[in-house]
Amino acid sequence: MNVHSSKYKCTECGKCFGTKRRLTEHRRIHSGEKPFECTVCCKRFTDSANLVTHSRIHSGMKPHRCQLCDKMFSRSEHLKTHMRVHTGDKPYKCSLCNKSFTRSGSLQKHKRCVHNNRRPYDCRYCGKLFKCRFDLKSHVRTHTRAKPYSCRHCSERFTFHRQLKTHLLKSHNEGTWFTCHICQKKFTQSGDLRRHIRRHEDVKPYVCNECLKCFFEAAELKRHKLKHSDVKHFICGKCGKFFKYKEKVVTHVNRCSGVVPIIFSNK
């Protein structure tokens, strides 16, 4: 290895870089910091190059086409990553739980949010704690009703990107449907299809390390593990009372302050 290529080393993962700027950009993967914001949809990025690429979405510049589903991309590497949807290739594997991912960024987020018990980000509205700044930012929109994602075909706006993606598919036939090969049910998200197929195959990969009970989805295991824990992540912003379950704090806050909180389903 060239001595200059290892001059700047990441203390989180050990990866080396030739310049301090590249190391600074890389560290944002671990911290979740995204200082570059799109002026059109408010989506944020870790570096300016990704923001420039993203801006092509709004300008319509997508020169790279998938030959299997005709989906268009602004960069060739995005097309390469997209092809894994069709091939099922997941080259990035977690060394802690062996879960695999199609993108390195997804693996980094998984390690940061799943295998790290720290929850340094708290919601100023309800006190809920989060491991990732991005997750907190998304959660806050359930309180503020902010809708940063806009449809380029009509006037509809959405709180979450997945809602926009679903709208584009259902209303404008833009994007890729993911179809179950067993029952032909269609999904707008590849992850939803994978979870659906597990139920056909009765595969329950998420196991409670306390009682060994198995679950189809990580969210089901997460909720179940609350039974074994005294940790209460939900807090009433008015009286300070803590709760284990979201629905409990929702009911309480309604009685305590007279404010009806807005809860969006994860399904």
Look up the domain containing 163 and give its range: 147-202
Q: What pLDDT score does 60 carry?
A: 61
For residues 91 and 101, give the distance between their C-alpha atoms in angstroms, rounded to a whole number: 6
- Interior angle at CA 163, CA 158 and CA 168, nearest 5: 95
- Kindly give, in sequence order, each residue whose CB lies less than 8 Å from that of residue 49, ignoring residues fewer than 6 positions away: none
Sign of CA dihedral 107, 113, 118, 120: positive
8 has pLDDT over 90: no
Question: Would residue 210 count as lying in a domain?
Answer: yes
For residues 256 and 146, give the distance between their C-alpha atoms in angstroms, rounded to a whole number: 24
Q: Do 249 and 218 share a structural domain? A: yes
CATH assignment of the domain containing 1: 3.30.160
Q: Do 197 and 177 share a structural domain? A: yes
Of 17-26, 40-49, 99-108, the range with the lowest mean pLDDT is 40-49
Q: Do 197 and 152 share a structural domain? A: yes
Question: Would residue 115 count as lying in a domain?
Answer: no
**In the block, which residue shows the tokens 């940061």?**
112
Q: Do 229 and 197 share a structural domain? A: no
Q: Do 220 and 179 share a structural domain? A: no
Closest CA to 227 of 207, 239, 245, 241: 245
Q: Do 194 and 225 share a structural domain? A: no
Look at residues 186, 202, 218 and tell me which one is the last residue of a structural domain: 202
Q: Where is mean pLDDT largest: 54-58, 71-75, 258-262? A: 71-75
Q: Write the Ramachandran bin of 109: left for phi over 0, alpha for psi from -120 to 50, otherwise beta.
A: alpha
For residues 205 and 214, give the distance between their C-alpha atoms in angstroms, rounded to a whole number: 7
Question: Would residue 259 count as lying in a domain?
Answer: no
Provide the CA 99 distance to its chain's centre, in angstroms. Answer: 16
Count how many Cα atoms sit within 13 Å of the Cα of residue 71 in the half-sphere of its side chain. 21
Q: What pLDDT score does 124 carry?
A: 87
Quick one: pLDDT band at residue 154, thresholds 50, 70, 90?
very high
Percentage of residues in the chain with pLDDT exceeding 70?
Answer: 91
For residues 76 and 179, give the distance between their C-alpha atoms in angstroms, rounded to a whole number: 25
Question: Would residue 79 count as lying in a domain?
Answer: no
Question: Would residue 46 count as lying in a domain?
Answer: no
CATH assignment of the domain containing 165: 3.30.160.60
| 117-133 pLDDT tens trace | 778 888 888 888 887 78
DSSP state letter for 16: E
Question: Would residue 82 count as lying in a domain?
Answer: no
* pLDDT, mean over the chain: 80
| 213-249 pLDDT tens trace | 898 888 888 888 888 877 776 777 778 788 877 778 7
* Tally of domains in the chain: 3
Q: Do 168 and 183 share a structural domain? A: yes
Q: Where is mean pLDDT largest: 35-39, 210-214, 232-236? A: 210-214
Question: Would residue 105 count as lying in a domain?
Answer: no
Question: Would residue 233 count as lying in a domain?
Answer: yes
